[in-house]
Copies of this chain bind each other. A is one copy, B any other.
Amino acid sequence: MVQNVARADPAIIDALAGYGVATVHEAQGRTGLLAHYMRPIYRGAGVAGSAVTALVTPGDNWMIHVAAEQCRRGDILVVAPMSPCDDGYFGDLLGTSLQARGVRALVIDAGVRDVATLTEMKFPVWSKCICAQGTIKASLGAVNVPLICAAQRVEAGDVIVADDDGVVVVPRGSAAATAQAAARRVAAEEDKRQRLASGELGLDLYQMREKLAQLGLKYV
């Protein structure tokens, strides 16, 4: 149980939410993307927040209660089991508790349940699956330690960005630089989008024809 976790600048976190997962992932050199089996329980949510991490044992959600106390307004709770488990660790009561504390979302490499209620509450969750299987409260895990969640390492205080495309983690130390790179990327894309919308080909826009010919592309 690690208690004092440094967080990134809230303005940067909110900016990253605005850029979205695909852009942030590109902006930090195509790194940090969680495995794509992490899906939102409902479409249309797009958030970013500081990670509070909880490492749990299989079929036991006790540490989520412990982690809840460490969550502040603007955080995202990131949960991973010590070995793969699809049980439904989280439901509407925990969602109510986290929402009351200002937590923005849950990211869990396991199952979640009560998804109809969580959807009504507008508490977004990205999970491995939807599964009603209940869990117990018997074993200790750890809170705010570094963990592997869906094939990416997450440290407490890292920035989590999540939307319909999935979830990406941005190390706290590089959050500002990543936000700047994302801003540049978005600006550059605007012009491209307009030219592509007007019918210009990517082949011309990105000046690919010569390089393709050099590599031997033949038209028959």
Contact = CB atoms under 8 A, between A and B. Distances in A.
Contacts of A196: 93, 96-97, 100
A28 to B, nearest CB: 10
A134 B57 contact: no
Contacts of A210: none
A82 interface: yes
A85 B81 CA distance: 12
Contacts of A113: 21-22, 165
How many chain copies? 6
A94 interface: yes
Contact of A166 (B31, B130, B219): B130
A99 B25 CA distance: 25
A137 B207 CA distance: 12
A111 B84 CA distance: 12
B3 A220 contact: yes
A14 B94 CA distance: 27
Given A66-B203, A93-B192, A116-B165, 9 more contacts: A2-B220, A3-B220, A25-B134, A36-B129, A66-B212, A93-B202, A96-B193, A100-B199, A138-B139
29 contacts: A1-B218, A21-B113, A22-B134, A25-B132, A26-B134, A30-B82, A33-B83, A33-B133, A35-B84, A36-B130, A36-B132, A36-B133, A57-B59, A58-B85, A59-B60, A59-B85, A62-B208, A65-B201, A65-B206, A69-B201, A83-B87, A97-B200, A99-B197, A100-B198, A132-B168, A138-B139, A140-B212, A148-B151, A148-B153
Query: 8 shortest A-B CB distances, which residue pairs?
Result: A58-B59, A36-B131, A65-B202, A97-B196, A58-B58, A132-B165, A30-B134, A116-B164
